Structures are given as structure tokens and as C-alpha cells.
Structure 1
Amino acid sequence: MPQTFPVTAAVELAVVERSGFIESRHSGSAVVLGPDGIVQASLGDPAAPILPRSTLKPLQALACLTAGAPLDGERLGLATASHTGTDRHVAVVRAILEEAGVTEDDLGCPPAWPTDPATRMELARDHAAPARVRMNCSGKHAAMLLACRANGWDLAGYLDPAHPLQLHIREVVERLTGEKPVTIAVDGCGAPVPAVSLTGLARALHRMGGSSERSPFALHRNAAVLIGAVRAHPWTIDGPGRPDTVVLERTGVFAKTGAEGVLVMVAPDATTVAVKVLDGSSRAASAVGLRLLERAGAVSAADAAKAVGDLSLDVHGGGAVVGAIRPTV
């Protein structure tokens, strides 16, 4: 059975400190690529396969773009997002669906409540029900439907691994990671998710983050447009006060978090970090990524500290701050 690295191959990445006592530890693997794409630091076993989960979304959105989906600006940001389901996010997703000539019922992702607390409470007060368009992956799914419409591909089966869209996505993934997936799993939203190494994932995002809109290659031109769209509209990638949006707004670092403790970050100079927290928790991942970028000289200590300060990493006791979640790398 394909599997990720074992506990014995992991290293400590972060701790939870309460009243001076180390209460919990997060271990995992990480890799840092310099601006030239060469490995600068390797922790744990970044060569082992992982499921990239939502950190794959930049590659999936890029594949939709190269397949002819007319996406730009906020719409391209939402295609890349794990959004919090606010009305602002949903309005953009609905615009993509309208462009594709489809409805919310055509989305293959499951119905969900928004993860934004204020929006969820407002919908509950209105006796609303979970909706596909509120699911955090709805932007990606809307972009997939738009790509299918642009090519005349079947809409109903767009999540089948053998569908032309998914085959195209896999081709883009293999080209950018430089790897053949060891297996194809089903993501939480129903989309195929290939297992690749953490180093391969970092390589793919480094290639995207280091791309230029003046590149002679369409794939790299589109990658530069995508990264630029998210940087221009940081609210799209996550949501107000959420880690990926906070990191981008405070440091200019492109950040994409995935389920089960996976994270990728690309600094403006293309220094790239990929992290997998083995226990599946994402609470320390952004702080670990920022610490590794700081150590690599890609982010200043002041900017990293400012971002970490806005990531809600304090540990509380009796209504007071008594500790913090902090990276140990």
C-alpha cells in the first residue's frame, strides 16, 4: 500500500508551549529550494510521497488556464483558493459558473457551510442549508467546469481520473513536479489528488513562482499570471484573517495551505518551502514555513514576526495568554 514517511523519519517542526511546559510537539518533513531551485535545506524525508491536497490547487488552476478557461484577476484567484465561503468569494465563483453556462448544481464538490464564522452565523439565522458554492473548493470546481466548456468536454464526468481535463491536469503536474504520481487518491472535494514527493511539490511551485509573463513558453507565462493574480488579490486565496491571506498581505509570500498539514510558500525571489506536518495538523505549518523562509534569507525577521503575530498562535488559559505555538526549526 502506498504511504507517506513514517514517524521515525520525521523531525520536530514546532511545539505547543503552555505556562513554560512543552505540552505537544508537531513533527514532519520540509524542504527549502533557493531562488535557483537547488535544495538549500532538507528536514525529515521530503523524498517520500505525500498527498498535496489543496496545495495542488495552483497546479490545477494553471491546468485549467492552459486548457483555455478564460480566467484572470479575482476569478483566477478563486480558482486557486481554499476560500472561506464569504458572500464576496461566492459572488466570484457564481460569475465563473455563469461564464461557463452552468449552475451551482453542476459543481461536483459536496455541499458545505462556509468556514467564515460571521457568514456561517448569518446563514444559520436565515435558516439556510449547506451549499456546494460555499464549499472551500468551489472556485476550483467552477474553473474545471469552465475549462470543460471551453473544450467541449463532458461536464458530468469532469472528476473522473480518466476525463480529458483530469488527464491534462496530471500532465501539468508531472511536467512541473518532474515526477510520476505513485498513486491517485480522492481529495475531500471529490477531485483526483496525485501522490508526489514534498520535493516534487516544492519544485512545481518554485517553477510557477519563478515564471515570467515574458517567457517564450505558454505554461510559464500562464503560471506568472496566476501567481500575480493571487498576489494582487490576497483575499481570494483564503479569507479575512486566515493564514494564507495574512502571510501574503504581510510578507508578499505566496502561500497555499492544504489539508492534513501540507503547506507551500513561494517568496518574491522564488525561494520555496514545502512542509508536511505528519500528524495532519495545520496550526503550526505557516509559522514553520515562515521560519524556514527567514532562515533562507527570503523574508526579513521583522516581516516574519509581524505575520506570525497575526496567525492566532497564542495558547490561552483562564482567558489570558499563557503560551504559544512556535516553530523549532
Structure 2
Amino acid sequence: MGVESMNEEILVNDYRNGILENIHPGHICGIDANEEVKYTVGNARHLTFLRSAFKPIQAIPVIAHKVQEHFKLTNRETALIAASHRGEDFHLEELKKLMDKIGVAEDELLCHPTYPLNPGAKDAMLKDNQPKRRLCHNCSGKHLGMIALAKVLGVSTEGYYEPEHPAQQEILKALSTVSGCNIAEISIGVDGCGVPVYALPLQSIANVYLRFARPELIADQTIREAVVAISSLMNENPEIISGTDAICTNLLMDKNIVAKGGAQGVYCFGLKDEKFGFALKVMDGTEEQWPLIVATILEQIDYKNKQTIQRLYQISHKDIYNDNDKLVGNKEAVFHLAGIKWGV
């Protein structure tokens, strides 16, 4: 798979006292029910690593092999396998239960010890002089799921993170199925937490999330049923998938949406009733622009649930305040889904 030309467009401008200070370029692709590109900004073929937007797909073989039944997991524990949790108290409580049920020691996880992503949870640990933990890593639930999958497959958990390990091969096959890409067309890298991560054209990633929203498009019954189960778990447990006031939490509260973001600016979501899949990539790698960009996409397609849009605007930080809590600027979305700049 070759590297496509970038051809990104500006998605968001930052202004300070009316003066342009920063731009945030990127790409957006929207796929319709016919799996054809309906909306595009920038390059729909831009090669993009899924990063943590990969987690619902990584959970497919875990669910397909009935790991949750084998280890008698609750829905909240199972949802952590697809989560980028923020290390809040309720996350750690469920993670400990998940770890104990699977029979895993914390030091068996490859992910590096860290503090929680949630600022309050991090501050609480620092105040109590608690050390960094692997369980606090936002990918720990995913790693526990991979180890659990290896156990159910009857293979060694050693090297569960290596590309050739049977658990990772199951994940790669699931990605091929839901993306419609042949395995030979999928590019590989190493994710921040150490497991394989794959790069696909943005159009193919949008197709993945279309299929999460419309699983009837998946021919393989086992994969289809797993996708249905994962989508339900995500909608039933939005705060488990992410955390307090996070974009994923706010989107997954809407039962019509399945959504997940990843590091370095990639965000994806599917709309069930509208039969759309969207994927976007902010090329400067920031996540702060996501709520504004997704809210703008939903407005431009005249999305029916205005409460969802409003929740996104509430966390979008469109107004820019300085350290003294003084309003000093604003952010503005400047893209149009037809690929035409505002005002043109």
C-alpha cells in the first residue's frame, strides 16, 4: 500500500483577539450505506493509523471467542476491553475485577506503568504518593482482553503483543473483514502501548465504523454478532469506554452513535439510522479539536439529535481563556463537507 499525497485542508482556526494564531489541518471522510464516499474534506485516501480507534476491532475476536462467558465477565468489565479509560476510581475498580477473573498479574501487561489520564485521578495518586501502575495505562483493558483471548485459544500468553501471535492474527483477520481490505493491503506499525497497530486509507476506516453502525453489512455471522455485542457494550457503558466529560462518553450516550478516538488526532464514528460512517484525522495530532469538528459535521448533515451536538459544543472549548480565566480568543471550524471552504 503506497503513501497517498496529503492534500489536507484546514479544519479549525484558532484566533487570539481576532488574529489568526494557529491552524489545524486534516482530512474527513464520510461513507454512506452503499459504502461509497458521500462527504470528503481533504484526501479520503490518506493513509491513517487507527491507533486507539482500533480498540473496538481488537475486541472482536475476544467477543467472538466468548471470552466474557468463559471468565464470567460483567458487561462493564467486558466493555473495558474496547476502552481508552481515564484511570478514574470506577475504571480501576472494574479493571481489578477483570484482571482477577482472567487470572493475570499486573506485571504481565506490556503497557508501561503510568498515571491516569484523568487529571483529578492523577492528582489523587500523586497526593497519596502512589507509584505509576500498568493498570492506570489507558490501554490496560485492551491488553487484558488480548491475554484472555490467548488463554481461551489455548495458546501461550507469552508475546501476546507480537504480530505473529495467534491473538494478534485473529485481530488482523477481524480488521480485514470489517474494513473490506485484504490483509496484504494493510500496513503495520507499533502502537504507543506496544501492540501492533494498522494503517488504512481514511475511507476504509470510515467503512469500518459504518459497519459498526450497520452490522448487517458484515457477511460473516460470527464477526457480525461480535460487532453488535461490542456496539451495545459501548453504548451501555459510555463512561467505561472513556471517562468523565470526554468526547467518546458524550457521543456514546446517544444510542444512535458508535464512536472511538485514537492518539495523534484520529477520530471515528458511525450513525446507525442515517447509515453513515465517518473518520477524520487532525494532521497536527491534537485531540482538542475533536468535539468542535464532530459537532460541525453533525450540524452540516442536519443530525436529528440536537442534544448530542449541544453536549459536544459544551466540551469543545470554542472560547479560549488564558491562565487568569480571561477570554482571549476563540476557535472556529472552517471546513465544509462538500470540500468547499466557507465563504467561497
Q: TM-score, normalised by structure 2?
A: 0.88
- Aligned residues of 1:256 and 1:263 also touching (Cα < 8 A): yes
For residue 117 of structure 1, the aligned residue among 106, 119, 122 is: 119
Q: Give the alignment's Cα RMSD to 1 decimal.
A: 2.2
1:1-329 matches, within 5 Å, as 3=3, 5-6=5-6, 9-70=7-68, 73-179=75-181, 180=183, 181-211=185-215, 217-249=221-253, 252-269=256-273, 270-301=275-306, 303-317=308-322, 318-329=324-335
- Aligned residues of 2:31 and 2:37 also touching (Cα < 8 A): yes
- Aligned residues of 2:107 and 2:134 also touching (Cα < 8 A): yes
Post-superposition CA distance 1:10-53 (Å, at most 9, x none): 01111112222221111111101234433211111121211110
Post-superposition CA distance 1:190-222 (Å, at most 9, x none): 01001111111111111122126xx98121111
Following superposition, the deviation at residue 304 of structure 1 comes to 1.1
Following superposition, the deviation at residue 257 of structure 1 comes to 1.1
Q: Aligned letter for 2:92?
A: V
Following superposition, the deviation at residue 263 of structure 1 comes to 0.2
Identity %: 26
SS of the residue 1:257 aligns to: strand
- Aligned residues of 2:213 and 2:257 also touching (Cα < 8 A): no
Inter-partner Cα distance in structure 2 for 1:236 and 1:252: 18
Inter-partner Cα distance in structure 2 for 1:194 and 1:221: 23
Post-superposition CA distance 1:123-170 (Å, at most 9, x none): 112211110000000011111111111111111210000000101100
- How many residues align? The count is 326
Post-superposition CA distance 1:297-322 (Å, at most 9, x none): 33445531332122334311342223
- Aligned residues of 2:209 and 2:258 also touching (Cα < 8 A): no
Inter-partner Cα distance in structure 1 for 2:4 and 2:93: 38
Counterparts in 2 of 1:251 and 1:12: CA distance versus 1, 3 Å: farther
SS of the residue 1:122 aligns to: helix
**Higher deviation after alignment, 37-46 or 113-122:** 37-46
Following superposition, the deviation at residue 292 of structure 1 comes to 1.6
Where has structure 1 moved over 6 Å in runs of 4 or more? none
SS of the residue 1:324 aligns to: strand
Q: Aligned letter for 1:256?
A: K
Q: Aligned letter for 2:285?
A: G
Counterparts in 2 of 1:21 and 1:250: CA distance versus 1, 3 Å: farther
Following superposition, the deviation at residue 268 of structure 1 comes to 3.5
Q: Which 5+ residue runs of structure 1 have no aligned equivalent?
A: none
- Aligned residues of 1:79 and 1:140 also touching (Cα < 8 A): yes
Q: TM-score, normalised by structure 1?
A: 0.92
Following superposition, the deviation at residue 266 of structure 1 comes to 1.6
Post-superposition CA distance 1:92-120 (Å, at most 9, x none): 22222222211111111111100111111
Following superposition, the deviation at residue 4 of structure 1 comes to 6.2
Counterparts in 2 of 1:58 and 1:216: CA distance versus 1, 3 Å: closer
Q: Which 5+ residue runs of structure 2 have no aligned equivalent?
A: 336-344
- Aligned residues of 1:273 and 1:292 also touching (Cα < 8 A): no
